[in-house]
Amino acid sequence: MKQFLLFFALIFISTLNTKAQTSEISGDAFAHTYSIVARDAKTGEMAVGVQSHWFSVGPLVAWGKSGVGVVATQSFVNPAFGPQGLKLLDEGYTPEEAVESLINNDEGRDFRQLAILGKSGANAAYTGEKCVAEAEHLNGDNFSVQANMMLNDKVVPAMAEAFVENANLPLAERVVAVLKAAQHAGGDIRGKQSAALFVVGPDKVDEVWKDKKIDLRVDDHENPIEELERLLKTARAYEFMNRGDLAMEEGNVEKALEEYGTAESMFPNNLEMRFWKAVALANSDRLQEAKQIFDRIFDEDENWRIMLKRLPKAGLINVSKEEMKMLTK
C-alpha cells in the first residue's frame, strides 16, 4: 500500500511540474514553421517569408513596417513580439537589443523562436531550447533564416544558401526561392498548408495603405509555396497594369500600351488586361487593332461589351458615337 501511495505521489508531482511548464505558453498560438527576414541591399526593401503546416500562418508570424524593420515570431507564438519588436526598433533599439528585451521578459522564452531585422540589414534571432527539433536559426548579411519542427537539420542551411545564391532576383522572388529551397530540403515534418510573403520599403510612409509594397497570403492550400509564387507573378503583372492606368491618366497612350502589353504577355488569357490594352489602342486612334481585340473578348464574355459602352461617360475612352458603335458591333 505504501508503495502504491508513493507511486501515486510521484505521478502527481510530475503532473504538477508538467502543468507548471506548459502554463508558460498556455493559450499561445501554435505555429511551428520556417521563415526568413531579409533586406535587399540595393533597394533597402525588407521582407518576411513563411510557410507552415498550419492554417493562415501569415498574420501570426510575419510583421513589418516601412522604414523600421521586420519581425518573424514563431514556434509557440507570442504575437506581441511582432508589434513590440517594431516599436523597439523605432525607438532606436538594435535588433539584438530588441530580441534580448523581448525574450528576457517572456516566461515562455524556452518555447519561442524569434528573428528581427532592422532597416540597415542588421539582424538577430533566438531559438528556445524547448522548440521542437529540428530547430535552429542562421544569421547572415541582410538576412536571418529560422525553423523549428523540421524534418531534418538540412533545412535552415539550405535556406541560407538559397538567399545568397539568388542575389540577382528582386527581394520578393528571392524570398520565395528561399522557401522553395527549405521545402526541397525536407521542410516541415508535418507537411505543407499555408504561406505568406510581404515586402516593406526602406522609408517611413504617412499613409498606412502604402506601408506594404507586396502583401500576399495563402491560408490553406496543398502546395502553398507554389501558389504563393503564382500570386507573386500575378501581382507583378498587375503592377504593369497599374503603370498603364497611370500613363493613361497622364495622357501617355504609348507608354500605357507598353505597360499593358507587358502585363498581357505575362497573363495572355486574362480578359481584363487585354481589354484595357484595346482601350489604349482606341484612344490612340488605332481603332481597327482595338476592334480585333474587343471582338475576341466579347466572344468570350459579353459583359465586356456592356463595360465598353459605359467608359465614355467616365472619360476613359475618347471615341465618337459612330466609332463606339463600330467597336461594340
Three-state DSSP class for residue 286? coil
Nearest 5 degrees, angle CA 149-CA 150-CA 152?
135
Given a contact cutoff of 8 angstroms between Cβ atoms, the answer to whether 183 and 192 are in contact is yes
Question: In angstroms, rounded to a whole number, what is the distance separating the alpha carbons of residues 56 and 268?
Answer: 31
Give the pLDDT confidence score for residue 12 in this predicted structure: 36
Q: How confident is the model at residue 245 (pLDDT cuts 50, 70, 90)?
A: confident
Query: Between helices 253-266 and 224-249, what is the axis angle to 10°?
Result: 170
Segment 304-312 mean pLDDT: 97
Give the closest residue to 200 by CA, choosing from 86, 93, 60: 86
Q: How many Cα atoms within 13 Å fall on the side-chain side of residue 305?
A: 13
Give the pLDDT confidence score for residue 206 in this predicted structure: 93
C-alpha dihedral over 219, 223, 228, 230, to 10 degrees? -130
Given a contact cutoff of 8 angstroms between Cβ atoms, the answer to whether 110 and 79 are in contact is no
Question: In angstroms, rounded to a whole number, what is the distance separating the alpha carbons of residues 68 and 89?
Answer: 6
Q: How many Cα atoms within 13 Å fall on the side-chain side of residue 177?
A: 16
Question: Which CATH topology does 237-328 take?
Answer: 1.25.40
Nearest 5 degrees, angle CA 329-CA 283-CA 235?
100
Segment 101-121 mean pLDDT: 97
Question: pTM of the predicted model, to two decimals?
Answer: 0.87
Q: How confident is the model at residue 21 (pLDDT cuts 50, 70, 90)?
A: very low
Question: In angstroms, rounded to a whole number, what is the distance separating the alpha carbons of residues 189 and 152?
Answer: 8
Grid cell, residue 204, equals: 517611413
Structurally, what CATH architecture does the domain formed by 27-222 represent? Answer: 4-Layer Sandwich (3.60)
Task: Tell me the average pLDDT of the chain.
Answer: 91
Q: Which of 8-22, 45-59, 232-246, 256-270 has the lowest mean pLDDT?
A: 8-22
What percent of the chain is modeled with pLDDT above 70? Answer: 91
Question: In angstroms, rounded to a whole number, what is the distance separating the alpha carbons of residues 182 and 202?
Answer: 27
Please, which residues have CB within 8 angstroms of residue 40's CB and are 6 or more apart in sequence? 46, 47, 142, 170, 171, 174
Give the pLDDT confidence score for residue 18 in this predicted structure: 40
Give the pLDDT confidence score for residue 31 in this predicted structure: 67
AA letter at 55: F
AA letter at 43: T
Three-state DSSP class for residue 127? strand
Q: Cβ-count burial of 207 within 10 angstroms (0-12 exposed, 13-18 middle, 19+ buried)?
A: exposed
CATH 1.25.40.10 spans which residues of the chain?
237-328
Grid cell, residue 132, equals: 521542437
Give the pLDDT confidence score for residue 221 in this predicted structure: 98
Neighbouring CB atoms inside 10 A of 179's CB total 26
Q: Is the pLDDT of residue 17 over 70?
A: no
Q: How confident is the model at residue 8 (pLDDT cuts 50, 70, 90)?
A: very low
CATH 3.60.20.10 spans which residues of the chain?
27-222
Given a contact cutoff of 8 angstroms between Cβ atoms, the answer to whether 316 and 324 are in contact is no
- Alpha-carbon Rg for the chain in angstroms: 26
Q: Is the pLDDT of residue 314 over 80?
A: yes
Grid cell, residue 263, equals: 502585363
Give the closest residue to 36 by CA, choosing from 202, 197, 215: 197
